[in-house]
Chain A
Protein backbone atom coordinates (compact mmCIF):
# COMPACT_ATOMS: atom_id res chain seq x y z
CA UNK A 1 0.00 0.00 0.00
CA UNK A 2 1.61 3.19 -1.21
CA UNK A 3 1.27 5.92 1.38
CA UNK A 4 2.70 8.66 -0.83
CA UNK A 5 1.43 8.84 -4.38
CA UNK A 6 2.52 10.85 -7.35
CA UNK A 7 -0.09 9.96 -9.91
CA UNK A 8 1.49 11.74 -12.84
CA UNK A 9 4.59 9.89 -14.01
CA UNK A 10 5.50 12.72 -16.38
CA UNK A 11 4.76 16.36 -17.12
CA UNK A 12 5.79 18.61 -19.98
CA UNK A 13 5.78 22.41 -19.56
CA UNK A 14 6.96 25.22 -21.76
CA UNK A 15 9.83 27.40 -20.59
CA UNK A 16 8.60 30.43 -18.64
CA UNK A 17 5.30 28.81 -17.67
CA UNK A 18 4.31 27.38 -14.32
CA UNK A 19 5.04 23.73 -13.48
CA UNK A 20 2.73 22.14 -10.92
CA UNK A 21 3.70 18.77 -9.49
CA UNK A 22 1.21 16.99 -7.28
CA UNK A 23 1.48 14.54 -4.44
CA UNK A 24 -1.17 12.79 -2.33
CA UNK A 25 -0.70 10.93 0.91
CA UNK A 26 -2.86 8.62 2.96
CA UNK A 27 -1.16 8.55 6.36
CA UNK A 28 -2.63 11.27 8.55
CA UNK A 29 0.36 10.95 10.89
CA UNK A 30 2.68 12.52 8.32
CA UNK A 31 3.69 15.96 9.53
CA UNK A 32 6.76 16.89 7.49
CA UNK A 33 6.96 16.89 3.72
CA UNK A 34 9.88 17.32 1.36
CA UNK A 35 10.52 17.57 -2.35
CA UNK A 36 13.64 16.14 -3.94
CA UNK A 37 14.92 16.59 -7.47
CA UNK A 38 16.95 13.96 -9.31
CA UNK A 39 18.99 14.29 -12.48
CA UNK A 40 20.07 11.14 -14.36
CA UNK A 41 23.16 9.44 -12.88
CA UNK A 42 22.96 11.61 -9.77
CA UNK A 43 21.45 11.13 -6.33
CA UNK A 44 18.32 13.04 -5.31
CA UNK A 45 18.94 16.57 -4.05
CA UNK A 46 16.79 18.32 -1.46
CA UNK A 47 14.66 21.11 -2.88
CA UNK A 48 12.15 22.40 -0.35
CA UNK A 49 10.22 21.22 2.69
CA UNK A 50 7.10 22.11 4.65
CA UNK A 51 5.91 21.33 8.13
CA UNK A 52 2.28 20.44 8.74
CA UNK A 53 1.81 23.60 10.81
CA UNK A 54 2.15 25.63 7.60
CA UNK A 55 0.20 25.60 4.37
CA UNK A 56 2.78 27.29 2.19
CA UNK A 57 6.53 27.58 1.97
CA UNK A 58 8.36 29.58 -0.66
CA UNK A 59 11.97 29.56 -1.78
CA UNK A 60 12.73 31.58 -4.86
CA UNK A 61 10.99 30.06 -7.86
CA UNK A 62 9.79 27.10 -5.80
CA UNK A 63 6.67 27.07 -3.63
CA UNK A 64 5.18 24.11 -1.85
CA UNK A 65 1.52 24.13 -0.83
CA UNK A 66 0.04 21.77 1.74
CA UNK A 67 -3.67 20.99 2.04
CA UNK A 68 -3.97 18.81 5.14
CA UNK A 69 -7.70 18.22 4.85
CA UNK A 70 -7.23 16.86 1.34
CA UNK A 71 -3.93 15.15 2.22
CA UNK A 72 -2.43 16.81 -0.80
CA UNK A 73 0.67 18.82 -1.50
CA UNK A 74 1.95 20.45 -4.63
CA UNK A 75 5.16 21.98 -5.85
CA UNK A 76 4.95 25.06 -8.05
CA UNK A 77 7.90 26.17 -10.14
CA UNK A 78 7.58 29.65 -11.62
CA UNK A 79 8.96 30.42 -14.13
CA UNK A 80 10.03 26.99 -15.35
CA UNK A 81 13.49 26.73 -16.86
CA UNK A 82 15.08 24.02 -19.02
CA UNK A 83 17.44 23.21 -16.13
CA UNK A 84 14.43 22.21 -14.07
CA UNK A 85 13.98 19.13 -16.26
CA UNK A 86 14.44 16.24 -13.82
CA UNK A 87 12.53 13.69 -11.80
CA UNK A 88 10.82 15.16 -8.73
CA UNK A 89 10.12 13.03 -5.68
CA UNK A 90 7.68 13.88 -2.95
CA UNK A 91 8.52 12.48 0.52
CA UNK A 92 6.81 12.47 3.89
CA UNK A 93 7.76 11.79 7.49
CA UNK A 94 5.70 11.01 10.57
CA UNK A 95 8.46 11.64 13.05
CA UNK A 96 8.02 15.13 14.38
CA UNK A 97 9.66 16.99 11.54
CA UNK A 98 12.57 14.66 11.01
CA UNK A 99 13.68 12.84 7.91
CA UNK A 100 14.73 9.73 9.77
CA UNK A 101 12.09 7.59 8.13
CA UNK A 102 10.94 9.15 4.89
CA UNK A 103 8.29 7.59 2.68
CA UNK A 104 8.82 8.51 -0.97
CA UNK A 105 6.53 8.71 -3.94
CA UNK A 106 7.45 7.14 -7.28
CA UNK A 107 8.42 10.45 -8.84
CA UNK A 108 7.24 12.73 -11.65
CA UNK A 109 9.48 13.37 -14.61
CA UNK A 110 9.33 17.05 -15.57
CA UNK A 111 10.36 18.12 -19.05
CA UNK A 112 10.68 21.87 -19.63
CA UNK A 113 10.65 22.61 -23.34
CA UNK A 114 11.95 25.66 -25.16
Chain B
Protein backbone atom coordinates (compact mmCIF):
# COMPACT_ATOMS: atom_id res chain seq x y z
CA UNK B 1 0.00 0.00 0.00
CA UNK B 2 1.38 3.40 -0.97
CA UNK B 3 2.16 5.98 1.73
CA UNK B 4 -0.44 8.54 0.64
CA UNK B 5 -3.61 7.42 -1.09
CA UNK B 6 -6.16 9.66 -2.74
CA UNK B 7 -9.68 8.86 -3.87
CA UNK B 8 -11.24 9.21 -6.29
CA UNK B 9 -8.48 9.32 -8.89
CA UNK B 10 -10.83 10.95 -11.39
CA UNK B 11 -13.94 13.03 -10.77
CA UNK B 12 -16.30 14.80 -13.14
CA UNK B 13 -18.85 17.11 -11.61
CA UNK B 14 -21.29 19.81 -12.59
CA UNK B 15 -21.10 23.31 -11.21
CA UNK B 16 -24.01 22.71 -8.84
CA UNK B 17 -22.77 19.42 -7.44
CA UNK B 18 -21.23 18.76 -4.05
CA UNK B 19 -18.43 16.24 -3.92
CA UNK B 20 -15.44 15.43 -1.73
CA UNK B 21 -11.87 14.36 -2.31
CA UNK B 22 -10.30 12.06 0.26
CA UNK B 23 -6.70 11.60 1.29
CA UNK B 24 -5.23 9.09 3.71
CA UNK B 25 -1.61 8.82 4.79
CA UNK B 26 -0.09 5.67 6.26
CA UNK B 27 3.27 7.18 7.19
CA UNK B 28 2.55 8.44 10.69
CA UNK B 29 3.20 12.03 9.63
CA UNK B 30 1.84 14.99 11.54
CA UNK B 31 1.25 17.43 8.68
CA UNK B 32 -1.00 17.18 5.63
CA UNK B 33 -1.43 19.46 2.63
CA UNK B 34 -3.63 20.11 -0.37
CA UNK B 35 -1.97 21.34 -3.55
CA UNK B 36 -3.53 22.26 -6.90
CA UNK B 37 -1.84 21.69 -10.22
CA UNK B 38 -3.39 23.42 -13.22
CA UNK B 39 -2.13 22.98 -16.76
CA UNK B 40 1.16 24.76 -17.39
CA UNK B 41 1.17 26.31 -13.92
CA UNK B 42 3.29 25.53 -10.88
CA UNK B 43 1.85 23.51 -8.04
CA UNK B 44 -0.08 25.87 -5.78
CA UNK B 45 -0.36 25.32 -2.06
CA UNK B 46 -3.98 25.45 -0.89
CA UNK B 47 -4.13 24.31 2.73
CA UNK B 48 -1.79 23.03 5.44
CA UNK B 49 -2.82 21.07 8.52
CA UNK B 50 -0.49 20.37 11.42
CA UNK B 51 -1.75 17.91 14.05
CA UNK B 52 -5.30 18.36 12.67
CA UNK B 53 -5.16 22.13 13.00
CA UNK B 54 -5.26 24.29 9.88
CA UNK B 55 -2.13 26.42 9.80
CA UNK B 56 -2.29 27.75 6.27
CA UNK B 57 -5.06 28.85 3.94
CA UNK B 58 -3.50 30.27 0.83
CA UNK B 59 -6.40 32.59 -0.07
CA UNK B 60 -8.44 29.69 -1.37
CA UNK B 61 -12.08 30.46 -2.36
CA UNK B 62 -14.69 29.24 0.09
CA UNK B 63 -16.12 26.83 -2.47
CA UNK B 64 -13.19 24.63 -1.40
CA UNK B 65 -13.61 23.47 2.20
CA UNK B 66 -10.96 21.30 3.84
CA UNK B 67 -11.54 18.95 6.74
CA UNK B 68 -8.93 17.11 8.80
CA UNK B 69 -10.59 14.81 11.34
CA UNK B 70 -7.26 13.28 12.42
CA UNK B 71 -3.60 13.31 11.44
CA UNK B 72 -4.11 10.49 8.93
CA UNK B 73 -7.09 11.76 6.98
CA UNK B 74 -7.72 14.89 4.97
CA UNK B 75 -10.76 15.82 2.90
CA UNK B 76 -11.45 18.56 0.39
CA UNK B 77 -15.14 19.31 0.10
CA UNK B 78 -16.15 20.84 -3.22
CA UNK B 79 -19.26 22.95 -3.73
CA UNK B 80 -20.47 25.10 -6.66
CA UNK B 81 -17.15 24.92 -8.46
CA UNK B 82 -16.30 26.71 -11.67
CA UNK B 83 -14.85 25.17 -14.86
CA UNK B 84 -11.54 26.92 -14.14
CA UNK B 85 -11.27 24.81 -10.97
CA UNK B 86 -10.61 21.80 -13.18
CA UNK B 87 -7.14 20.60 -12.19
CA UNK B 88 -5.13 17.87 -10.53
CA UNK B 89 -5.51 18.07 -6.77
CA UNK B 90 -2.60 16.60 -4.87
CA UNK B 91 -2.51 15.64 -1.22
CA UNK B 92 0.78 15.40 0.62
CA UNK B 93 2.03 14.63 4.09
CA UNK B 94 5.23 15.30 5.98
CA UNK B 95 6.80 14.80 9.36
CA UNK B 96 7.60 18.13 10.99
CA UNK B 97 7.30 19.85 7.62
CA UNK B 98 10.32 18.14 6.13
CA UNK B 99 10.13 16.55 2.68
CA UNK B 100 6.62 16.18 1.31
CA UNK B 101 5.26 12.80 0.30
CA UNK B 102 2.58 13.17 -2.34
CA UNK B 103 -0.37 11.04 -3.30
CA UNK B 104 -1.13 10.23 -6.93
CA UNK B 105 -3.66 13.03 -7.19
CA UNK B 106 -7.34 13.40 -7.99
CA UNK B 107 -8.03 14.76 -11.45
CA UNK B 108 -11.11 16.96 -11.29
CA UNK B 109 -13.14 18.11 -14.28
CA UNK B 110 -15.88 20.68 -13.69
CA UNK B 111 -18.44 20.89 -16.48
Which residue of B4, B42, B97, B104 is within 8 Å of A99 (Cβ)? Answer: B97
Which residue of A2, A98, A104 is within 8 Å of B43 (Cβ)? Answer: A104
B87: CB under 8 A from chain A? no
**Overall SS of chain A's interface:** loop
Residues of chain A with a CB closer than 8 A to B98's CB:
98-99
Count contacts on B: residues with CB < 8 A to the other chain: 26
A73: CB under 8 A from chain B? no
Which residues, 28 to 83 on B, are CB-close (under 8 Å) to A?
31, 40-45, 48, 50, 55-56
Residues of chain A with a CB closer than 8 A to B42's CB:
2, 4, 89, 103-107
Report how far A92 CA is from B56 CA in the complex, Å.
17
The answer to whether A43 and B55 touch across the interface, beta carbons within 8 angstroms, is no
A102: CB under 8 A from chain B? yes
Report how far A31 CA is from B94 CA in the complex, Å.
18
Report how far A105 CA is from B41 CA in the complex, Å.
8
The answer to whether B31 and A100 touch across the interface, beta carbons within 8 angstroms, is yes
Residues of chain A with a CB closer than 8 A to B56's CB:
100-101
A41: CB under 8 A from chain B? yes
Which residues, 21 to 64 on A, are CB-close (under 8 Å) to B?
34, 36, 41-46, 49
Closest B residue, CB atoms, query A34: B99
Closest B residue, CB atoms, query A97: B98
Which residue of B41, B45, B55, B96 is within 8 Å of A102 (Cβ)? Answer: B45
Report how far A6 CA is from B43 CA in the complex, Å.
13
A-side residues, CB < 8 A to B, are 2, 4, 34, 36, 41-46, 49, 89, 91, 95, 98-107
Can you spell out 21 A-B residue pairs with CB atoms less than 8 angstroms apart? A36-B100, A41-B104, A42-B104, A43-B90, A43-B103, A43-B104, A44-B100, A45-B101, A45-B102, A46-B99, A89-B43, A91-B43, A99-B98, A99-B99, A100-B31, A100-B50, A100-B97, A101-B56, A102-B45, A105-B42, A106-B41
